Amino acid sequence: MKEQLKRYGISLIASFGIFAILSFYLFLRRGYYDLFIANKALAGTAFVLLAFVLLVGLLARYFVRFDGWLIYRKEIGIVAFVFALAHGVVSFLIPRFNLFSWAALANVNLWLGGLALLILLFLTVISGNWAIQKFGGQKWWFFQQWGARLALILVLYHVFLMKYGGWADWFIHGGSKTLARPYLPPLSLFSFLPAIFIVVVRLGEFFGPKIGKVIFFASLSLLAAAYLISFLWWLV
């Protein structure tokens, strides 16, 4: 119990650290900080944590130093659900969003995000040892592994549908004049790219360990290049 509490403590500290970094970046880009902006940081933190849960196994496979991080997957996954839930609740509190409008009910983004949240809720509920005993280790791991992957794909689609127009507009025309630093890339783009990296690398596993390793390092290089290009896009 003491070790588990320690893991939760470390996971929470890391999560709030990520939230603080994302909030600071949003403040730098926007020049102000309110509930709407904080909600973006909540969403970004949940996205990063969920991506980490799926990424850490790959990192441990290729880098021994990450083996010790594997024990934090459960706790970080649960914290990711808490941040995602907070994002959903805050979204309904923002005046510009009306949950009971026809536009909201017909919004595909809303349903994608809600379905991903339900999957994360299910994974959180069955995260205890009682579920392992009830379902058996193999079936329990199947639920956790594929549930997290499905949730990530739904969140990817959720983010893409909401943000792709803004990304294209930023690359073509630059940021809005209302931004304090319009040359800074949208935060959602930086949350989206590593998730795409994870999906590509996971698909690469189907081609065997050797090809999968090549895909991993090639994709990692492309990810780093994408970050660099995005930051330099309006600075050169």
What b/e readout covers 91-128, taking b as 16+ CB neighbours within 10 angstroms?
beeeeebeeeeeeeeebeebebbeebbebbeebbebbe
**Other beta carbons less than 10 A from residue 15's beta carbon:** 21
Please write the tens of the pLDDT for every residue from 174-213: 888 899 999 999 999 988 998 999 999 988 888 888 898 8
Q: Is the dihedral of CA 106, 112, 117, 122 positive or negative?
A: positive
pTM attached to this predicted model: 0.90
145 alpha carbon, distance to own chain's centre: 16
As a whole-number percent, the residues of the chain with pLDDT over 90 amount to 62
Tell me the two tokens of residue 87. Answer: 């994002």
User: Helices marked H in 94-127 — which ranges?
Assistant: 102-105, 108-125
Is the confidence at residue 97, as pLDDT, over 70? no
| Residue 164, pLDDT score | 92
pLDDT tens readout for residues 36-91: 999 999 999 999 999 999 989 888 888 888 888 889 999 999 999 999 999 999 98
Q: Which stretches of 174-208 are DSSP H helices?
A: 187-204
